Amino acid sequence: MADTARRTALAFAITAGITGMASAATPPAQPWMDRGLSPDKRAELLVAAMTDDEKYRLIRTDFGMKSDKHGQPEGALGNAGFIPAMPRLGLPAVQETDAGLGVTRPGVDNAGAVSLPAGLATAASFDPAVAHAGGRMIGGEARGKGYNVLLSGGVNLVRDPRNGRNFEYAGEDPLLAGLMVGATVKGVQERQVVATVKHFAANDIESGRNTISSEINPVALRESDLLAFQLAIAHGDPGSVMSAYNRVNGTYSGEDDWLLNEVLKKEWGFKGWVMSDWGGAHSAAKAANAGLDQQSAGEVFDAEVFFDKPLREAVARGEVSKARLDDMVKRILRSFFVHGVLDNPVPVKAGKVPYAADRVVARDALEAGAVLLRNQGALLPLAKGTSVVVIGGHADKGVLAGGGSSAVSDVDGDPVPGLEPTGWPGPVKYHASAPLTFIGKRASKVSFNPGTDPVAAAKAASGADVAVVFVTKWAAESFDTPDLGLPDNQDALVAAVLKANPKTIVVLETNGPVKMPWLDQAGAVLQAWYPGSGGGEAIARLLYGEVAPSGRLPLSWPKDESQLPRATIQGAGLNSKEKPADTIDYNIEGADVGYRWYEKTKRQPLFAFGYGLTYTSFDYSGFAVDKDKDGRAVAHVTVKNTGKVAGADVPQVYVTGPDGGTRRLAGWTKVALKPGDSRRVDIALELLALARWDDAGKRWRVAAGTYQVKLGRSADDFAADATLQLPESFPVVKAP
């Protein structure tokens, strides 16, 4: 009886165990939502569960706003790209918005947003922490407005200061641009929103951008534009890369197997997805096989929705493999898993967006990136007891923004509505942060003159202790400016005011360099770029010394167009009737972009890359270069604040290889010091800045030999020299 009971109990236990094991092994209804699995495995499981229709739905977005082709799609937020939710699979709607400087569409809270200053201002900070904070700000606002993919992360190099879209980018040097954009992308994606590095590749002018071919030797491309992308991707780990409009050496970027498959995906190990630009898709099978994973809003912007019926037919014919289709889908889903889009979907209802705090982030970014170009007789900082006349630039209302898809509608509205052009790439927008208001809080007496009449402006200037003239030059996506001149007779305005009052400060709100025929007469000049939503307050704080300028130019500032690799841009100008060129020859400068071009051609720019003044002075001592315990090259220097106010300095390290050639920025740091304080800083040198591309070996190569190392205040102002002996090596940029 006892044995029978024991056998019965044992049988029950075994049965119960087997039942429990079976229950534990039963997969949940959506096994891809198991966070214990890798993003790759989760994406594979989800792809395996999808129907063909669901796959083809994910590899194409719709335009998310009303157009002449359709009304606003149901569920879309009036945004750039939209894919409906797939509840069966647990997939939320994909909501994409332009957000290079801030969220451009109202979103679920139906409100404007806060804009950072121009990307060039962030780059001019020479501080990745500033870029990271800006990325977090934009990512947070996007999430609060219901967006989960941001078209942000512009890393195209500034090859020509007339490019209308330079303000979105991060300068002329690949190391600076790559590290700064990488930091921005990282900040965005910390908010569980996908960022998109763009426009891949060599999209360095806007004239004829949809068809023009950027002609450049592949090695030179590797060492310039592609290096910037490589670094941005390695440091930022973006979920997506956007292909460019233009052709590269004759092939459309979105159909370029070498760019997308060989370089981006295989060599760099990029595991995210490649989306087309809006109007940048041209085929089905060719593009898919070349590495394009998603067509953007093709029903509105492209000749055809290539990634639906045409691609289905291509797969059925065997022109595109089913494995490739699955790879396209997997790459999108993997990025969603990696960056939290599926595990922590954006709120369906409006989230709370901290606009006031975000405006401080934008203000701080401009304070770190505004560049003081001139300050004769220590005119700046201003004393608070002076009378000031503020002239021009709508400075009584706000600060100018760049145009095109990145233009942010400020949460506080547009204080200067109706400016031309009101249609694309406008409307021209201002941010409601009026410099006059903030200067008025600090001056003993303040007045405003619109600057439309130079004679009247000069009279107003003569009656004040100090004049502050705001000059503007609007630029935008889709066109380049034909020259570097200021529009609307502003040179005459500045000249008249300077003649009436030598204590005149000129504040530039521009896309970048402009000619300044009056420069030698100006008391001070501050480059404020496009200042962003906190711009008015930042400018006032800089002018009054509440914070010292610390920005350094992220690009070379030419004297005029004759110093550029190309004297003209064919088809430049808003609404130009001239046919754009079919090709543009970047082999003229090759990899020697910007300051390297000036060194190579022995030309002296008006202001060099890395240049910038402040309200104090710094001294360098003890410059040396050695290798750390891991064999990495590191420069060391003691920086001392020898002035009377606190400030920040940017010691820069430039290197020339044993085979000669032009100097390259290899590292820098930004150090803030109080008066009299000093600090020993270490500056790690980027191996890729010391390397050259070995095309035969398909790898980066650091040549053995002696490297000439210079400590600079800018690209043409050096304080110390050293040498560095290196063995041959083959540096690798690790994939994220």
The pLDDT confidence band at residue 732, using thresholds 50, 70 and 90, is confident
**What does the pLDDT read at residue 10?**
36
Q: What is d(CA 32, CA 126) in angstroms, rounded to the nearest whole number? A: 41
Q: Which amino acid is at 734?
A: K
Q: What is the pLDDT of residues 235-269, one digit of tens each?
A: 999 999 999 999 999 999 999 999 999 999 999 99
Identify the structural domains of the chain with CATH numbers, from first to last. 31-338 (3.20.20.300), 362-556 (3.40.50.1700), 617-726 (2.60.40.10)
What Rg, from alpha-carbon coordinates, does the chain have? 28
**What does the pLDDT read at residue 734?**
67
The pLDDT confidence band at residue 351, using thresholds 50, 70 and 90, is confident
**What does the pLDDT read at residue 348?**
77
In the predicted model, what is the mean pLDDT of residues 333-359?
93
Q: What is the pLDDT of residues 704-725, one digit of tens each?
A: 999 999 999 999 999 999 999 9
Q: What is d(CA 587, CA 607) in angstroms, rounded to the nearest whole number? A: 24
**What does the pLDDT read at residue 460?**
98
Task: Give the DSSP letter string of 530-580.
Answer: S--TTHHHHHHHHHTTSS------SS-B-SSGGGSSSS--TT-STT--SPP
355-365 per-residue burial string, b: 16 or more CB within 10 A, e: under 16: beebbbbbbbb
Under 8 Å between Cβ of 328 and 294: yes
The pLDDT of residue 680 is above 90: yes
**What does the pLDDT read at residue 385?**
86
Task: Return the ∠ at Cα 157 (arms to 162 and 251), rounded to 5°.
Answer: 95
The pLDDT confidence band at residue 6, using thresholds 50, 70 and 90, is very low
- Is residue 601 classed as helix, strand or coil in its secondary structure? helix
For residue 382 the two structure tokens come to 């201003």
Q: What is d(CA 647, CA 671) in angstroms, rounded to the nearest whole number? A: 8
How far is C-alpha 596 from the geometric centre of its chain's CA atoms? 22
The pLDDT confidence band at residue 542, using thresholds 50, 70 and 90, is very high
**What does the pLDDT read at residue 630?**
83
The pLDDT of residue 91 is above 80: yes
In the predicted model, what is the mean pLDDT of residues 592-597?
98
**What does the pLDDT read at residue 349?**
79
pLDDT over 90 for what percent of the chain?
A: 93
Closest to 555 (Cα-Cα) out of 523, 514, 512, 526: 512
Q: What is the pLDDT of residues 600-639, one digit of tens each?
A: 999 999 999 999 999 999 999 999 999 988 888 999 999 9
**What does the pLDDT read at residue 18?**
35
Sequence-ordered list of residues with C-beta below 8 angstroms from that of 511, at least 6 positions apart, any chain: 118, 120, 161, 164, 166, 167, 402, 473, 474, 475, 481, 529, 530
Give the chain's mean pLDDT: 94
**What does the pLDDT read at residue 26?**
42
For residue 608 the two structure tokens come to 């060099």
Q: What is the pLDDT of residues 184-233, one digit of tens each?
A: 999 999 999 999 999 999 999 999 999 999 999 999 999 999 999 999 99
Under 8 Å between Cβ of 33 and 342: yes
The pLDDT of residue 578 is above 70: yes
* φ, ψ for residue 462, nearest 5 deg: -65, -20
Sequence-ordered list of residues with C-beta below 8 angstroms from that of 324, at least 6 positions apart, any chain: 288, 289
How many CB atoms within 10 Å of residue 166? Answer: 34
Helix (H) or strand (E) holding 582: none
Q: What is d(CA 204, CA 575) in angstroms, rounded to the nearest whole number? A: 19
The pLDDT of residue 2 is above 70: no
204-234 per-residue burial string, b: 16 or more CB within 10 A, e: under 16: bbbbbbbebbbbbeeebbbbbbbbbbbbbbb
The pLDDT of residue 735 is above 90: no
pLDDT over 70 for what percent of the chain?
A: 96
